[in-house]
Amino acid sequence: MRTLSKIVACWMALLSLTACDNRESQDTAGEVNLYSSRHYDTDLALYDDFTRDTGIQVNRIEAGADELIARIQSEGESSPADLLITVDAGRLWRAEQAGIFQAVDSAVLTERLPDNMRHPEGLWIGLSKRARVIVYNREAGLPTPLADYTDLADPTHAGKVCIRSSSNIYNVSLMASIVAHLGEAAAESWAEGVVRNFARTPQSNDTGQIRAVASGECQIAVVNTYYLARLAASDDPADLAVAAAVGIVFPGQQGNGTHVNISGAGVVSTSPNRDNAIRFLEYLTSDRAQSLFADGNNEYPAVPSVGASSKVAALGEFKEDGLSATELGVHQSTAIMVFDRAGWQ
């Protein structure tokens, strides 16, 4: 009996030690500090899911991309930032040029992501995608020609085109892709043609462009797919009516493919929690995280094997422009000068 008591006591002590070890591993798992310009509530599910899996606490600061880049620069070596998360390759390139990112060599990221979703030196990765498509007024019918971005400059579309300002980062990246494919001179000629076809001065956001096409204020607009899917998923009958009133063209299907812009992230060069930051990046490319991106914010997953949400998939299948997202950054300054010379406000 005395021997049995000793065995039980030893067993209880072992259990207690194991419990202490588990608590210690949770307590020392540490944290990862995100500076993010993504402002979607659905991203919170990603952070909570990662913490449940790893015990690593996710801290975040949200602001505009340019503000976050400036903040990291001003904080210098003492910056608490581990990761910068932002929208569009153009902003990732700006952060890269500011020397904010450090190279990451991860077999997981290399395996999960295609080449055009990874910086060639490992400075950043793409996390999700939006296709930049053309919408038209269904009641007025499909204007022709309208199979490619270049068709937006066709004189037959005079007075029909609505689009955002040239300073919008989505348009800057689209123009950068046109510069990459056609050259600066041809891109400027195209921009001048689009300006001549404006139905109104560039204004509003992508949702505003869709509403303008649905109302008949213009017949053609250029928008990101997630705005369309969001309207189609709305509980508001007015939003559903707008979504139903427009048709979609995926440009470039007989050529380079449809331009996509990305959300992406990179590890900050002064990251105090580098290992946790890399672990978080790897988590964001998991099937579960990619599905949360897709279902939560109507985006296309960056990982090819993960499917889009039903609302996004309903927009249609398309051939994607395989141009590296890095190229969009390289040609950004040229794109801005082309817009200015063309008189695109």
d(CA 258, CA 94): 23
Tell me, yes or no, whether 121 lies in a domain.
yes
Same domain membership, residue 323 and residue 182? yes
What CATH code is carried by the domain that includes residue 146? 3.40.190.10
- Residue 4's pLDDT is 39
Amino acid residing at 259: H
Instruction: Assess whether 214 and 135 both reside in one domain.
Output: yes
pLDDT of residue 303: 97
Q: Do the domain assignments include residue 24? A: no
Residues 208 and 327 in one domain: yes
Clarify whether residues 158 and 187 are in a common domain.
yes
Identify whether residues 58 and 139 lie together within a single domain.
Answer: no
Rounded-to-integer distance, Cα 130 and Cα 264, Å:
12
279 and 139 belong to one structural domain: no
54 and 102 within one domain:
yes
| Same-domain check for residues 115 and 134 | no
> What are the tens digits of pLDDT across the range 205-262?
999 999 999 999 999 999 999 999 999 999 999 999 999 999 999 999 999 999 998 9
Residues 119 and 268 both lie in one domain = yes
User: How far apart, in whole angstroms, are the C-alpha atoms of residue 294 and residue 153?
Assistant: 33
Q: Is the peptide bond before 145 cis (omega within 30 degrees of 0)?
A: yes
Is residue 3 included in any domain, yes or no? no
Give the separation between CA 240 and CA 230, rounded to whole angstroms: 10
Domain boundaries, position 213: 130-259+319-342
Co-location of 237 and 265 in the same domain: no
**Domains held by the chain: number:** 2
19 vs 185, which has greater pLDDT?
185
Closest CA to 323 of 331, 335, 333: 331
Give a yes or no: residue 14 inside a domain.
Answer: no
Is 10 within the bounds of a domain?
no
Residues 229 and 336 in one domain: yes
Residue 19 pLDDT > 50, yes or no?
A: no
Closest C-alpha to 144, from 42, 204, 220, 41: 220
12 lies in some domain: no
Each residue's pLDDT tens digit, 292-342: 888 888 999 999 999 998 889 999 999 999 998 889 989 999 999 999 999
Same domain? 117 vs 155? no
**Could you give the CA distance from residue 311 to residue 305 in angstroms, rounded to a whole number?**
18
d(CA 17, CA 191): 69
Whether 15 maps to a domain, the answer reads no
Can you read off the two tokens belonging to residue 152?
């937006």
**In a domain? residue 124:** yes
Share above pLDDT 70 across residues of the chain, in percent, rounded to a whole number: 92
The C-alpha atoms of residue 296 and residue 45 are separated, in whole angstroms, by: 9
Q: At what angle do helices 169-182 and 89-97 cross, to 10 degrees?
A: 90
